[in-house]
Every structure is written in C-alpha cells, then in structure tokens.
Amino acid sequence: MPTAPLDTPHSGKARLSAPWIIAGYFVATLVLGAALAPWLWQAARGFAAWTAESGLERTPVIGSWHDSIKRADFTRVFNRAMLVAALLCLWPAMRLLRLKRGALGLEPNPVRARDLAIGFALGAGLLLAMGGGYVSAGIFTWRKNVDVGGVIQDSLMRAAGAGIMEELFFRGALLGLVLRVWPPRAALIFVSTVFAAVHFLQAPPELVIRDGIQAGTGFWLVGEILMVFGNANFLLAECATLWLAGWVLGAARLRTRSLWLPIGLHAGWIFGIGMYAGFTRASRAVRRDEYLPWIGETLKSGLVPLAVLALTGAVLWIYGQRGRPSPQGTAPTSPP
C-alpha cells in the first residue's frame, strides 16, 4: 500500500544538517548518561535507605521498587541512566531539526487493545516455545525452589517498563524524528541500527559493580563495554538478533501508524525473557559459549532467536494484511 506523505523540514539547510544533528544527539546521550550514572546510583541507594527507615518497604508498590533497587548493581543503573539521558537530549535535537509537536506520524488506533494483546502473546509465546525446546534438548535446565510469584511480578514490571518507555522513545519519538528527514526504509534501517547499538551499551554479564562508585565510573564502564565489540561470536549472536528485533518493531509501528502493537510485542519479549531466566538455568556448555553463535545464555542471544524473530515478523506481516481498519480512514503504511 502507498505510504502516507510525511512533512519535510522547513528548509534544505535543516535536511542537510540532520545527519550531523542526529549523530551529535547520540554522542551527547552517551556522555550525559555516563556522567549521570553515578549520581543516579547514589539517588537509588538513598531511596532504598529511606524506604527501609520509614517502613515503606513493606508496602506493595514501593516495596517492590525497594527490592529491585537493592538487587541492582551499578551496570543496571547505568543502563537506566542512558535511557534518561536519551530522553533529556531528545527535545534539543527536535528543536535543532525544527520539528513541531505532534509531527511524528502517529495516529489513533481503533484496535489498540487487540494489537497490544496480540503483540504480547506473540512475542512471549514464540520465545517461550523456543525456550521449551532448549530445555527438552538439555541445553537449559529447570531451577529449583523458585519464587514463582516474585518471578512473575518482576517479569511483568520489567515488561511494562521496557515495552512502554523504549517504544515511546525508539519507535515513537526517534523514528518519528528521523522520518521527518529520511524516507521510511532509510529511517527504519537507521533506528534499528541505533536500537541494537544502544542495547550493546551494557556491561558484560559477568561484570558486577556494587562498590567504589565514583564520578568517573560511568566513563570507565563505557570503555569496558566498547571492548565487547572485539568478540566476533558475541557480535554475531547479539547484533543480528537485536537489529532484526528493532526492524520488526519499527515495521509494526509503520504498518499501524501507532505504538500499541510494538509496545505489546516488546513487552511480550521482555516478559518471556524474564520468566525463562527466572525458571531455568543455562548449562555449563552454554556458559562457556560453546553454543555461540547459535545459542547464548538468554532467549535473546544467538542465531536461533534470530530465526524466531524472522518468524514473528512474518506472522505480524500476515496479521497486518488481514483486514486492519485504517486509522482515520487512511491507508496504513506498509512495512518496508
């Protein structure tokens, strides 16, 4: 189907400078995130201490936050700091690109509840089915004495947080921003690449930091993270999977011109990954990377998950072809 025309920037100068503005946006995000991480760490520690002293740790919602903060190490706070920095830098980038509010190409979705539910069920269902195959093959084993309620609650909270916040940023603001200066296919390739790159800005799983946090720790961690790019098997196992995930999510957003389907799909993936990590344990062979690049230590690592993502994209394409009502009476955008 034809793609609805997008507004263009106010001048050719804005178009020419857009790639440099977007590149500067990501450099600024990296620097600001590294600088914010130690301060966010101290704020999180202070919040945990305050809730413990005031007795609020025994309340349902705040108690869950308290437990999550106590379990978190600096690398997890660093990831959140990067997301905060990305959001803070977004408004100046949009101003430099001369973008107006409401110009991100999103429209009301008359079947938002259905899109949300189907995305969640498809994302979690296919990943967990793949994980069941891993267990049957002895690649993963079941954990003993699992706190079932705790695993489900934690998985749901992470799914809601990542599904909403990351989609609002990547497929909402960022993709909408880039669509203002580039055609849909180029914009989708760019945002999928950024999505994969940002998720690479995470510390190696074996690196746990809980003490000795200083003002420069965030910048030191950036250096440690960039060293991971020298591991070819890791890049092949992780990069291709993350990039295709970004493509599928972006195509769903373009097809529906809304965020409900990608939010559901993303939340389903995070929920499935969290549930599987809570109930299963990787074998020693997996932990020694003997199955890379095919299978990694999580459901998102490896070329096997890549095939499942391709299947997910195919199912979503079929779903998008079967009688979707057009938002506001217009033709939906076809996935590139």
User: pLDDT tens digits, residue range 207-234?
Assistant: 667 777 888 888 888 887 777 666 666 6
Helix axes 260-279, 232-256, angle to 10 degrees: 140
Residue 138 class from Cβ within 10 Å (0-12 exposed, 13-18 middle, 19+ buried)? Answer: exposed
Q: Residue 16 pLDDT more than 50?
A: no
Q: Would you say 247 and 188 are in contact if contact means Cβ atoms under 8 Å apart?
A: yes
Q: Would you say 320 and 335 are in contact if contact means Cβ atoms under 8 Å apart?
A: yes
Per-residue pLDDT band for 87 (boundaries 50, 70, 90) equals confident
Phi, psi of 126 (to 5 degrees): -70, -40
Q: Which residue has the higher pLDDT, 235 or 211?
A: 211
Looking up tokens 């000795």 gives 212
Does the N-terminal peptide bond of residue 19 adopt cis geometry, omega within 30 degrees of 0? no
pTM beyond 0.85: the answer is no
Q: Stretch 257-261: mean pLDDT, rounded?
A: 93
Kindly report the length of the chain: 336
What whole-number percentage of the chain has pLDDT above 70? 78
Single-letter amino acid, residue 326: S
Q: How far apart are CA 253 and CA 157, in angstroms?
A: 23
DSSP annotation string for 21-82 = HHHHHHHHHHHHHHHHHHHHHHHHHHHHHHHHHHTGGGSHHHHHHHHHHHH--HHHHHHHHH
Least confident range of 66-80, 151-165, 265-279, 280-294: 66-80
Q: Would you say 333 and 3 are in contact if contact means Cβ atoms under 8 Å apart?
A: yes
Nearest CA to 150 out of 238, 71, 253, 39 is that of: 71
